[in-house]
Amino acid sequence: MGPVIGIDLGTTYSCLAHLSGDQPRVIPNLEGSSTTPSVIGFTSAGETVIGETALRQALTNPEKTLFSVKRLIGRKFLSEEVRKAAARLPYKLAEAPNGDVLIEVGRERITPQEVSAMILGYLKTCAESYFGEDVHDAVITVPAHFGDHQRQATRDAAVIAGLNVLRVINEPTAAGLAFGLGQKKNGKVAVFDLGGGTFDISLLEIHDGIFHVLATNGDSYLGGNDFDQRVVDWLLDEFKKDHAVDLSSDKFALQRVREAAERAKRELSFTSETEINLPFILALPQESIHFRKTITRAILESLTVDLVQKPLPLIERTLEEVRLKPEAIDDVILVGGQTRMPLIRRRVSEFFHKRPNDKVHPDESVALGAAIQSGMLSGELNDIVLLLDVTSLALGIETEFDGYERIIDKNTTIPVRKTRPFTTVDTNQRQVLVHVLQGDAPRASENVSLAKFELVGILPAPAGVPQIDVTFEIDANGQVKVAARDTATGKEQMIAVQPSSGLSKQQVNTLVKKQKEQKDKKAKDAAHEKKRLL
């Protein structure tokens, strides 16, 4: 078996790691950095650039610079999350024939899976350069609150990039593994994960090498991007007050403001004030306008106080689900770049009545945990005996009148198998439709549809007499199987739920081929250029 890599595919930055002996190590990218911006750019020359190079060309080419794509992957175009994203992004979105979201790049339309595959492909290249050999296998992390469609879309992106996904693991769980590896003490750990695009809270119990996830919760549309946007909006308002001009319609000026806002937000984690200086932000016929504004940490905190507070009710709910008080948590670890913000650190400290543990790197721990998971799967790590994860969302079936009957509750430890009896609603009903759903909403129509199948051949009987046992089974990989059995006849129908990312198997195969052709062409062009220079 060749090298196995752990990948944290982030909204704003991605990170790569592997297991070296019994310790996880970060793999630097081709530029020597430990993290890579999750940004793809398409140049006027027809080239595709990734990471820092893409970030540098964003100012002159905002419509063809793609970022925050993780917020779009596995989602429908008409969803609330995509609607909010579309209002902020400089590039255009469109609706696919199946209702999914597409990204417009010039005259082309591409899927979020393809964009993510480009980032993953670059990380794969970095790993191959590091090891000096081909890399095929990976453990990839996703937000704990990602649904099946988003998880499958991430898997498809990895397949397109030429990777075999050994396991998809929740990001806070991975960070917990990175924290707990080699720790001798036992206890309960809270992982507060606030990255560029998502928030997760997970509670874990570590006991003699067993990592047991007790509960998880989150918001898949809350992250550093939202904090950046508040600063952007403030800067635009300030400019309008000073110069009576709205910069929001000027794409190039807006991109400069975005970059300045993110930079200022980062600086305010370490200083009480910083100056934003944007010379020649606007060129008018009679003059050029420069923009200079000082922003303080106090202003940033006032602009984002509601965003800072937003995770706290989710943490409270998660603790209540497992009947724990904040004081019962032994260690709190902070993951994700946005947790560097002092106000967030203060609020978390106040909530749990203790200072966060600083032993994990907020940008690297998730990838390190993914590398640890790879060692657990291969049997290379003896320090960790077992990882017991949970389902992040409930699973159940639709009942009459848009009812929703949960069979497996959220935060149930996996693997798990549960059976519940149902019956018919009509006299002499000969078949039943089993509609498998995922979610926590009370009505069937408010949850996500995963699969449908029919059980036929039920003996004629009055309504309510037949007993049909519906069994849900989830294995350690999160694979769901659902069976329905008529107890009178013994007839049974089973389905392995295959969540769709919106791409068919044929489409994925076509994209795999396209990606390989582009990689081969790039390698051939590079070899030709090298030969020409020699």
- What pLDDT score was predicted for residue 59? 84
Q: In the structure, what pLDDT confidence band is assigned to residue 209 with cuts at 50, 70 and 90?
A: confident
For 380, the token pair is 């290379």
Out of 3.90.640.10, 3.40.50.300, 3.10.580.10, 3.10.20.30, which CATH number does the structure's domain 224-305 have? 3.90.640.10
- Rounded mean pLDDT, 236-249: 92
Digit-coded pLDDT (tens) for 490-508: 999 998 887 666 777 788 8
User: CATH class for domain 4-222+311-388?
Assistant: alpha beta
- What pLDDT score was predicted for residue 249? 87
- What pLDDT score was predicted for residue 153? 93
Q: In the structure, what pLDDT confidence band is assigned to residue 35 with cuts at 50, 70 and 90?
A: very high
DSSP lists the bridge partners of residue 25 as 18
- What pLDDT score was predicted for residue 477? 76
* Active-site annotation holder among 70, 124, 265, 410: 70
Q: How many CB atoms lie within 10 A of CB 395?
A: 25
CATH code of the domain occupying 395-497: 2.60.34.10
Rg of the chain's alpha carbons, rounded to an integer?
Answer: 25
Mean pLDDT of the chain: 91
- What pLDDT score was predicted for residue 527? 66
Residues 6+ apart with CB under 8 A from 499: 148, 149, 151, 152, 450
pLDDT higher for 360 or 532?
360
Active-site residue flag, 8: yes
- What pLDDT score was predicted for residue 187? 93
- Rounded mean pLDDT, 135-141: 96
pTM: 0.89
Going 227 to 228 to 232 to 234, the CA torsion angle's sign is: positive
DSSP state of 413: B
**Which residue, chain included where needed, has tokens 């770049």?**
337
Digit-coded pLDDT (tens) for 385-410: 688 899 988 999 999 999 999 999 99
- What pLDDT score was predicted for residue 182? 66
Domain residue limits, the chain: 4-222+311-388, 224-305, 395-497
- Rounded mean pLDDT, 109-129: 96
* Active-site annotation holder among 100, 148, 193, 364: 193
Active-site residue flag, 358: no
- What pLDDT score was predicted for residue 496? 85
* Active-site annotation holder among 8, 205, 364, 398: 8
For 389, the token pair is 């994860």
- Rounded mean pLDDT, 294-305: 98
Q: In the structure, what pLDDT confidence band is assigned to residue 533 with cuts at 50, 70 and 90?
A: low
Q: In the structure, what pLDDT confidence band is assigned to residue 145 with cuts at 50, 70 and 90?
A: confident
* Active-site annotation holder among 100, 114, 148, 171: 171
